[in-house]
Amino acid sequence: MNVPAASSPSPALDRNWPLVAAGALMGCVAVGVVFSLAVLLQPMSTATGWSRAGLSSAMTLAFLSMGVAGFGWGMLSDRYGPRVVVMVGALLLGLACVLASHAGSLLQFQLAYGVLMGVAAASFFAPVIATTVASFERRRSLAVSLVSAGMGLAPMTMSPLVAWLLTTHDWRTTLQIVGVLAWALTLPAVWFVRAAPGTAAAPGGEGASVATGGMSAGRALRSKPFIVLALTYFACCAAHSGPIFHTVSYAVGCGLSVTAAVTIYSMEGAAGLGGRLLFGVLGDRFGAKPVLVAGLLVQAFAAVSYLSVSQLDGFYAVALVFGMAYGGTMPLYASLARDAFEPRILGTVLGGATLFSSLGMALGPLVGGWLFDRYGSYTWLYVGSLMVGLGAAAIALLFPSARRPGGESGFGPALQH
């Protein structure tokens, strides 16, 4: 028996653009603060004598903490609502910066900047994205893409700001200023993060156990739609994280200067912003699933295309397509989740999916480095990215088709597993 069709869109839906603006701002600040370590690395190492490997490990800890904490934040958002979760995260984000600025040892810095900051930053992802997809119907993919685009702006905004602050302040004072700025920007934005009408958690957290057809959050995490979503997300991130991380080194090996090679990474990031908006519009028009599958195929073939170029203009051409594809596919997972699950458990579902994506992001650079050490080239990295990317597209095809207006839901049989 099919799951009952979702109720007709509320008149209030598709009008919560202040939430989108607030989500984009908070995501930009959170991601920007985390990636500020790339700018702080050299002056910190010089001033403290701490090794760059030790300082860089704080970034690894941040990613791992974000993956694990994102799942927890998502569940708390379903139970208590997104606003309180994001407020706590905003407070922790600034606190992490202040504590890191006072670190007297490398371990203290790793705990503050890596663990605490990762936990704080994760609060802005699953809860905000879940609230956004629950607040929109016709323009859902575009809304999520705009929130995601805010995160993509972080390297172009926060990083230059941190670099400018370092021209007149030491790293400790710079981190303190960044922490205060994080509070000043994110705390007022919390006001605009509110659950969509009809999706607020019930007293005592009962809303966290209600899903399509009465499905609990635990049962949803064992359902076919979630398994397909999580595995696709994992494979997608594993496919593009290796090329993102290693392409600069590969380009240098092809004879490009380090300065020129770094601009390839910048080209990917800029293309990713355009891809988020383009794929968001296409997702609303043609459906998230077919656009995601197409994007995964483009990403896979673009990744292996790096092997066919050796000059800067060729790298730019591939980076433009590759960046647009991987940037554009990322927000579509939230739209797929909203098609399959009720808003009351979206935080848990997206938090769980984000955990899988974090594992994929961590796997690509590690395997890519191992393949280079083993074979002396990056050939197998890009070939592997092609194969994993094709696998992601194949897995995505297994996701149940979305219900169309006036038609039956494609999730009924799947959600009964």
What percent of the residues of the chain are helix, what percent strand, and what percent coil, each to the nearest 5?
Answer: 80, 0, 20
Q: What is the pLDDT of residue 14?
A: 60
Query: What's the longest Cα–Cα distance across the chain?
Result: 67
Which tokens belong to 408?
Answer: 């039956």
pLDDT band at 6 (very low <50, low <70, confident <90, very high): very low
pLDDT over 90 (residue 94): yes
Query: Mean pLDDT over residues 162-168, rounded?
Result: 88
Do 214-399+410-416 and 17-195 fall under one CATH topology?
yes
344 contacts: CB under 8 Å, gap ≥ 6: 78, 199, 201, 207, 208, 210, 211
Give the residue extent of every domain in the chain. 17-195, 214-399+410-416
Contact 167, 78 (CB under 8 A): no
- Only one residue has tokens 């979630």, namely 226
Query: Mean pLDDT over residues 229-250, rounded?
Result: 89
- Only one residue has tokens 């790339």, namely 38
Contact 365, 241 (CB under 8 A): yes
Which residue type sits at 148? Answer: S
**255 in the Ramachandran plot: left (φ > 0), alpha (ψ -120 to 50) or beta?**
left
pLDDT band at 67 (very low <50, low <70, confident <90, very high): confident
Query: Mean pLDDT over residues 125-134, rounded?
Result: 87
- Rounded Cα distance between 263 and 315, Å, is 10
H or E stretch covering 76: helix 52-80
Query: Mean pLDDT over residues 215-226, rounded?
Result: 86
Which tokens belong to 76?
Answer: 């708390």
Q: What is the pLDDT of residue 207?
A: 36
pLDDT over 70 (residue 5): no
- Give the ranges where 376-398 is alpha helix by DSSP (H): 379-396
DSSP 9: P
DSSP 112: I
Q: Contacts for 216-220 with beta carbons within 8 Å, 24 or more apart?
A: 216/345, 217/75, 217/78, 217/345, 217/348, 217/349, 220/341, 220/345, 220/348, 220/349, 220/415
- Coil, helix or strand at residue 230: helix
Which tokens belong to 259?
Answer: 């300065």
pLDDT in tens, 372-382: 888 888 999 99
pLDDT band at 371 (very low <50, low <70, confident <90, very high): confident
Nearest to 106 by CA among 175, 41, 58: 58
Q: How far is CA 385 from CA 83, 367, 371, in A?
A: 38, 10, 12
Nearest to 411 by CA among 343, 354, 336, 353: 336
Query: Mean pLDDT over residues 193-200, rounded?
Result: 65
- Rounded Cα distance between 61 and 41, Å, is 15
- Rounded Cα distance between 190 and 186, Å, is 6
Share of the chain above pLDDT 90, in %: 38
pLDDT over 90 (residue 116): yes
Residue 108's φ and ψ, nearest 5 degrees, are -60, -40
pLDDT in tens, 306-349: 999 999 999 999 999 999 999 899 889 988 888 888 888 888 89
pLDDT band at 172 (very low <50, low <70, confident <90, very high): very high
Which tokens belong to 37?
Answer: 């370590």
Measured between its terminal Cα atoms, the distance across the chain in Å is 12
Q: What is the pLDDT of residue 394?
A: 97
Q: What is the pLDDT of residue 187?
A: 95
Q: Residue 179's CB: how many other CB atoms inside 10 A? A: 21
Query: Mean pLDDT over residues 44-69, rounded?
Result: 84
Contact 94, 29 (CB under 8 A): no
Nearest to 209 by CA among 218, 199, 221: 218
pLDDT over 80 (residue 44): yes
Give the domain 214-399+410-416 fold. Growth Hormone; Chain: A; (1.20.1250)
* pTM, to two decimals: 0.73
pLDDT over 50 (residue 412): no
315 contacts: CB under 8 Å, gap ≥ 6: 247, 251, 256, 261, 264, 267, 306, 309
Class of domain 17-195: mainly alpha
**365 in the Ramachandran plot: left (φ > 0), alpha (ψ -120 to 50) or beta?**
alpha
pLDDT over 70 (residue 355): yes
Q: Residue 391's CB: how many other CB atoms inside 10 A? A: 18
- Alpha carbon dihedral 246, 247, 253, 258, in 10-degree steps, equals -100
